[in-house]
C-alpha cells in the first residue's frame, strides 16, 4: 500500500493555504467543492510525492484539536533560513535541544496544529 493523503480540518482556509503554500512550499494540485457544505483542497510537494488535504466546512463549526493527533513533519535543507523566516513573521517556535541528534523546530499552523520542520541530514 501507499499513503494517499493526510486530511486536516481547517478554520480559516485562506490563512491555512498561505501557511502551507508560502511558508512550507506546497502547491495546490486539486480543489473539490462538496455542494455548499465543504471545500477540499489538496496540496502536494513539487514532485507530488505526498498530499495534504485541507478540509474547510462552510457551516462555521469550531474544532477541538484534542491530544490524539501528533504533528505533520517537513524536511528542509537549511533550517537556519527557516528559523529566520519564522522570526521575521513573529511566530512562536520551539527549537530542538543541542543534545538531540537531529535539528528541527516546531511551529503552529493557523489552526493550531504542530508542524515540525527537520533539517535534512
Residues with a catalytic annotation lie at: 116
Residue 8 to residue 105: CA distance in whole angstroms: 20
Enumerate the H helices of the chain as residue ranges. Answer: 13-18, 79-89
End-to-end CA distance of the chain: 27
Distance between CA atoms of residues 78 and 89, nearest Å: 17
What count of other Cβ atoms lies within 10 Å of the Cβ of residue 19? Answer: 23
Q: Which residue(s) pair with 51 in the sheet?
A: 44
Amino acid at each position: 500500500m501507499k499513503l494517499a493523503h493526510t486530511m486536516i480540518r481547517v478554520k480559516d482556509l485562506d490563512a491555512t493555504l498561505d501557511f502551507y503554500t508560502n511558508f512550507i512550499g506546497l502547491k495546490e494540485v486539486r480543489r473539490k467543492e462538496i455542494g455548499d457544505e465543504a471545500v477540499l483542497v489538496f496540496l502536494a510537494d513539487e514532485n507530488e510525492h505526498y498530499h495534504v488535504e485541507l478540509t474547510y466546512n462552510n457551516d462555521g463549526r469550531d474544532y477541538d484539536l484534542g491530544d490524539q493527533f501528533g504533528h505533520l513533519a517537513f524536511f528542509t535543507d537549511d533550517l537556519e533560513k527557516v528559523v529566520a523566516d519564522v522570526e521575521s513573521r513573529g511566530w512562536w517556535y520551539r527549537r530542538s535541544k543541542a543534545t538531540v541528534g537531529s535539528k528541527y523546530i516546531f511551529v503552529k499552523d493557523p489552526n493550531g496544529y504542530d508542524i515540525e520542520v527537520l533539517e535534512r541530514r
